[in-house]
Structures are given as C-alpha cells and as structure tokens.
Amino acid sequence: MKVFVINLEKDVARKEHVLKQCQSIGFEAEVFNAIDGRLLSPQEISDKTHPELSAGLTESEIGCALSHHGVYQQMVTDNIEVALILEDDVEFDHQSRDILNYLASHIPQRPTIYLLAGVRKYLKGGKKIPCSEHTLVNVSQAALSHAYIINLAAAKKLNDYLYPIWLEADRWTFMIECGLVNIKAILPVIGHLSELSHESTIWSSESDFERKAAIRELRKVTVKKIRKNRTLSTKCKNSMWRIFIRPFFEVKQE
C-alpha cells in the first residue's frame, strides 16, 4: 500500500514525527509537499477555487484542500490502486499495521474511503475485523482528514468533483449525502491526533483568530447555498433515507 504524508516543507518537526510513526508500524512513506495557501497570490487562489462556493474558506483551508486533491491527482496519474493518506499530526496505535494491511487488501472496487480517525455519527453494527477487536462501520457524519485509506476509484471521483476547490478536505458528511463515495470508519480509532495537532496550521496567527467569526459565518451561509444547489435526486434520496431507512438503524456518536 502506498503511503502519502502531507506536510508543509517548513514543518520539519511534524515531518520527522509522522515518519517515525510510519516506521514504527512498518510502513515506508512518501512525503507530499503540502500547499501553503497563505503563500498563494490572490490570482492563484482565484484560479484554483470556485468563484462562489469557496466563499468562507481560509487560505489555509484552501491549501489543505489543494494538498489532498494533489494526492488524488497523483494516484490517478500513477494508477495507484490504494493509498494511506496521512497529515503530519497523526499518532498511530502500535497494533495498527495488521489492521491497515487488512483494510487495504479488502477494500472494494467501488469508490471507497476508510476513515481511521474518530467520526461524529455511525450506524450500529458493522463488520468485525478478523483477529481484532475493531469494527468497520458505515459513517453517517464525520470530519477530520488526518488519516484515511482511499482506493483509486474514489480518488478519480474526488479528483474531478473537488476541483476547482470549493469544499474543505474533510467535508465527508456532504460527500456521503451526495452519494459520491462509500465512506466507512474503523472503530475503535487507530489514527489519533498527536499533541502537535494543538498547534493549528489553519488558524495560526492573531489576525486569523480576529477574523475567524466573520469567516465562519460567511462559510455557514455558503454551505447552505451548496446544500440548496444539490440535485433533486440527491435531496430526495436523503429525505427517503431519513424518513424510511434511518429509523431502522441505531445511529451512535463517537
């Protein structure tokens, strides 16, 4: 399985930390140089983002989304069947190797993502992982993009769907609602956030924090517009699921 580590070139300590994590569970990783959205010119941002639907995304969030999209693009170009994508603030359990290898070797052909981090809501039940106490569950709501497995079919879908950039890299719930990819999660979590995650690279300066509330409000308005612009078939499918199918499932919260 190919392993990509998304890392800003300046964040040497983070890179060393995550490479050590990969080494400890027996994986050799390729560092993918992340895009620092704060260094992009206004014209570059304009060229790489949707003119309306990216409103409310910070420069750092745009850089993060471009970085993940860049990995999808490389998977498509190099015909990489399955990859483990990591951000540089991940912390793995020591027993993760066998679980990761199992997941990679049993990923279906249809567009699929396995989230290794915590999820907000998931459906009760799921599939037990052999020789493990872990379970693969269907995700209802999720965020966080610091650790996940993705197959080529999903990379192709996201490569086309997410560019020019208009969604955060971890807007998984929206992708689920649109039926874009099949998203599952492994529980208990094996891809944790390390202490390095407390040092945000999204809101990293005093000026960022000062404008955070206004930006978040703008993004909230934009997301409402995005959801309103979903196709009629997608809206109907989600309404049918909530009314006729969801009542038969117990939705748990992680």
Contacts of residue 159, Cβ cutoff 8 Å, sequence gap at least 6:
69, 72, 73, 75, 76
45, 71 Cβ separation under 8 angstroms: no
CB count in 10 Å sphere of residue 221: 12
Q: Are strands 112-115 and 82-87 parallel, antiparallel or unpaired?
A: unpaired
Number of domains composing the chain: 1
Q: Rounded to whole angstroms, how far apart are CA atoms 155 and 72?
A: 5
The DSSP output letter for 49 is: B
Q: Are strands 191-193 and 147-151 parallel, antiparallel or unpaired?
A: unpaired
pLDDT at 248: 79
More confident residue, 254 or 235: 235
* pLDDT (mean) for 95-100: 93
**pLDDT tens string 101-151:** 999 999 999 999 999 999 999 999 999 999 899 999 999 999 999 999 999
CB count in 10 Å sphere of residue 44: 14
pLDDT at 90: 95
pLDDT-based confidence at residue 94 (cuts at 50, 70, 90): confident
pLDDT at 214: 87
* pLDDT (mean) for 77-95: 95
Q: Rounded to whole angstroms, how far apart are CA atoms 17 and 194?
A: 9
63, 40 Cβ separation under 8 angstroms: yes
**pLDDT tens string 165-223:** 999 999 999 999 999 999 999 999 999 999 887 665 555 556 666 778 888 999 999 99
The residue among 138, 202, 144, 200 whose CA lies nearest residue 170 is 144
4, 86 Cβ separation under 8 angstroms: yes
CATH number at residue 177: 3.90.550
* pLDDT (mean) for 221-250: 90
Q: Can you give the residue range of the structural domain that contains 240?
A: 2-253
pLDDT at 242: 86
pLDDT at 200: 57
pLDDT at 207: 64
Q: Rounded to whole angstroms, how far apart are CA atoms 35 and 169?
A: 13
**pLDDT tens string 21-44:** 999 999 999 999 999 999 999 999
* pLDDT (mean) for 82-101: 94
Q: Rounded to whole angstroms, how far apart are CA atoms 89 and 97?
A: 18
Reported pTM:
0.93
CA distances to 128, 190, 227, 244, 250 from 232, in Å:
36, 37, 11, 18, 27
